[in-house]
Amino acid sequence: RLLIIDFGSQVTQLIARRLRELNVYCEIHPYQNVTDAFLAEFAPKAVIFSGGPDSVMRDGSPRPPKSVYDLGVPILGICYGQQVMMHDLGGRVEAGEHATAEFGRAFVTPSEDRIDLLTGWFMDGSGREQVWMSHGDHVAEIAPGFSVYGTSPGAPFAITADEDRKFYAVQFHPEVHHTPNGKTIYENFVRAAGFSGDWTMGAYREEAIRKIREQVGDKQVICGLSGGVDSSVAAVLIHEAIGDQLTCVFVDHGLLRLNEADEVVKMFRDHYNIPLIHADESELFLGELDGVSDPETKRKIIGRLFIDVFQKHANSIDGAEFLAQGTLYPDVIESVSFSGGPSVTIKSHHNVGGLPEKMGLKLVEPLRELFKDEVRALGRELGLPDSFIGRHPFPGPGLAIRCPGEITREKLEILRKADAVYIDQIRKHGLYDDIWQAFVAILPVRTVGVMGDGRTYDFACALRAVTSVDGMTADYYPFSHDFLGETATRIINEVRGINRVTYDVTSKPPGTIEWE
Ligand code: XMP
């Protein structure tokens, strides 16, 4: 296995992701935990030093134990990791001046006598390679045994290596998207270290299960289940690890889609045999939301009730010491806290923010290292159905924010039916996976229509469908007019209470994806 020593870079997890893509198993450990004894026990086959925000010239700045250089295994240093390596092995690092600091895109050119080697290693032969830099300090003198392979305007030692010892050090970040060929650096590094690349998501699952067992022991765990992909994958994984020590709490606020509550309960209780409390609290939620039309007030009411209800049911589980959450890596904002010693600072998952502290529970977050697509792959590995894994995101406040104005049972009923027809249309036309999110919003207006020979006075609704990468920005989906016409006809014919269908063609920004 490969060890990544984390010196606090914001992108350390991307290194791990690149390695997983190469089917290599790795673990990230904060530098504070990496001692001589740790190294001896871990016995890495290769080591990567991450980047980091500190300066090696500052007394007390992060370092690996010196014994790492005597393990006889390949080492790759990145950015701060390069500077650490040069400093430790007898080179020299200089403080950044304006002229040599580089942030963002830069171009590396190979040193003349090294073109062949570098072409094999990293470059496509054009003699210029785009990389992403982010450094103030830079290496001023390389350590004995190293040679220079590539330079950039701000980094005379952008790529350096000691091929005898298999020590490689680069100033830029090969793990980020803006270093387009960065992956080949990792590829060649793991090859040099003798990895065969046979690690799989199945192995990840085994390792995650081992870790959960180690963390939890014989204690009880509570998991808040939303019906979404992340919490579901976390629940199934944890259940596989500790069986009935896990109890799921599914807060049903009465704002779910058609049949959704039933499906969640069936899947987890019947199919997976996971102890599940179905907290059907729709009366409570809809009662408190009665007559409320301001979007922020709606959200606040739902958030507050959610925490109350969750807490009430969780308290009924004897001896629970852990709260499981489907926090993903993008939810984790800092990997190493430099001010507070060896502690790790995280952002709590927004849906139950503040709950663990309030209830005195410790967190189990088995998906903390993964990105969304990897969670989906793990879900597939665990046997969750594809149709479930590929589901569009659904917001915590549910249909409440798709029902502008006052929420009534009648409107929710109509909205559920219209939404089901719309999603059915999208699936039938094979468009579901091309769309990031699609839903119907029921509008707080009635309009006049004519059906048969009679006058109607019913609700209007808006169809929404967007493409997006991360939900931060979005564009409306360009349905054909035929599709829109057919869908409008179906909704009006099949859903009593709607006599007008519109399509929302707003991008985000200036709109948001949801209507509230
Ligand atoms: P907006 O409407 O802000 O939505 O463009 C961006 C994405 O976030 C989802 N969303 C939420 N998800 N709790 C959630 O878990 C919420 O309160 C919430 N509000 C919006 C929305 O569905 C879209 O995918």
pTM: 0.77
Nearest alpha carbon, ligand 1 atom 3: 512
Q: CA 201 to CA 311: how far, in whole Å? A: 34
Q: Which CATH number fits the domain that encloses residue 338?
A: 3.40.50.620
**CA nearest 71: which of 104, 47, 89, 101?**
47
- For ligand 1, atom 9, which residue shows the shortest CA distance? 395
Which residue, judged by its Cα, is nearest atom 7 of ligand 1?
471
Identify the residue whose C-alpha is closest to ligand 1 atom 4.
513
Question: The domain that contains 456 carries what CATH number?
Answer: 3.30.300.10
Closest CA to 137 of 157, 118, 151: 157
Ligand 1: centre distance to CA 397 (Å): 9
Q: Are 326 and 1 in contact (CB under 8 A)?
A: no
CA distance 413 to 282: 13
Catalytic residue among 26, 102, 138, 175, which? 175
Q: With respect to residue 293, please indicate whether it lies within any of the assigned structural domains.
A: yes
Cβ(471) to ligand 1 under 6 A? yes
Whether residue 224 has its Cβ less than 6 Å from ligand 1: no
Amino acid at the residue 51: G
511 found inside a domain: no
Query: Residue 399 falls within a domain, yes or no?
Result: no
- pLDDT tier at 344, thresholds 50, 70, 90: very low
173 in catalytic set: yes
157 and 270 fall within a common domain: no
- Per-residue pLDDT of 403-442, as tens digits, reads 999 999 999 999 999 999 999 999 999 999 999 999 999 9
89 near 139, Cβ under 8 Å? no
Centroid of ligand 1 to alpha carbon of 396 (angstroms): 8
Predicted confidence band of residue 125 (pLDDT cuts 50, 70, 90): low
- Set 26, 79, 223, 248: catalytic member: 79
Structural domain range at position 486: 408-503
Confidence (pLDDT) at 338:
34
Whole-number average pLDDT of the chain: 89
Q: Do 317 and 225 share a domain, yes or no?
A: yes
44 lines ligand 1 (CB under 6 A): no
Q: Is the pLDDT of residue 332 over 70?
A: no
Q: Are residues 238 and 141 in the same domain?
A: no
pLDDT, tens digit, 9 for 90 and up, residues 74-124:
999 999 999 999 999 999 998 876 656 778 888 888 876 665 555 556 666
Decide whether any atom of ligand 1 lies within 6 Å of the 513 Cβ.
yes
Residue 509 lies inside a defined structural domain of this protein? no
Q: Which atom of ligand 1 is nearest to the CA of 397?
A: 17
Q: Does the C-beta of 449 come closer than 6 Å to ligand 1?
A: no
* Positions at the binding site for ATP: 226-232
b/e map of 327-362 (b: 16 or more CB within 10 Å)?
bbbebbeebbeeeeeeeeebebbebbeebbeebebe
| CA atoms of 25 and 16, how far apart (whole Å) | 8
Q: Is 27 a catalytic residue?
A: no
- How many whole angstroms separate alpha carbon 428 and alpha carbon 285? 34
CA of 295 to the centre of ligand 1 (A): 13
- Extract the runs of DSSP E, i.e. beta strands, from 111-202: 129-135, 138-141, 147-152, 155-162, 167-170
145 touches 164 (CB < 8 A): yes
Of 359, 389, 419, the residue that ends a domain is 389
Compute the distance from residue 250 Cα to the ligand 1 centre, in Å: 19
Which residue among 435, 508, 514, 516 is best mutated to probe the pocket of ligand 1, counting the most ligand atoms within 8 A of its Cβ? 514
* pLDDT tens sequence across 215-261: 999 999 999 998 889 999 999 999 999 999 999 999 999 999 999 99
Token pair of 382, please? Answer: 């665990």
* Same domain (yes/no): 289, 433: no
In a domain, 35, yes or no: yes
* 216 and 187, same domain (yes or no): no
Torsion region of 433: left, alpha or beta (phi above 0 gives left; psi -120 to 50 gives alpha): alpha
Q: Is residue 264 one of the residues assigned to a domain? A: yes
The domain boundary, picked from 331, 360, 389, lies at: 389
514 CA → ligand 1 middle, Å? 7
412 shares its domain with 365: no
pLDDT at 490: 98
Which is the closest atom of ligand 1 to the Cα of 472?
6
Domain assignment of residue 394, yes or no: no
Instruction: Read off φ and ψ for residue 348, nearest 5 degrees.
Output: -75, 150
Is the beta carbon of 473 within 6 A of some atom in ligand 1?
no
Instruction: For residues 78 and 175, give the distance between their C-alpha atoms in angstroms, rounded to a whole number.
Output: 9
Predicted local confidence at residue 64, as pLDDT: 97
Q: What is residue 469's predicted lDDT score, i.e. its pLDDT?
A: 79
Q: Is 512 in the pocket of ligand 1 (CB under 6 A)?
A: yes
**Does the beta carbon of 227 sit less than 6 angstroms from any atom of ligand 1?**
no
Q: Are 151 and 215 contained in the same domain?
A: no
* pLDDT tens per residue across span 273-317: 999 999 999 999 999 999 999 999 999 999 899 989 998 988 889
Q: Which of 87, 135, 173, 313 is catalytic?
A: 173
Same domain (yes/no): 265, 366: yes
For residue 39, the domain's CATH number is 3.40.50.880
- The ipTM is 0.98
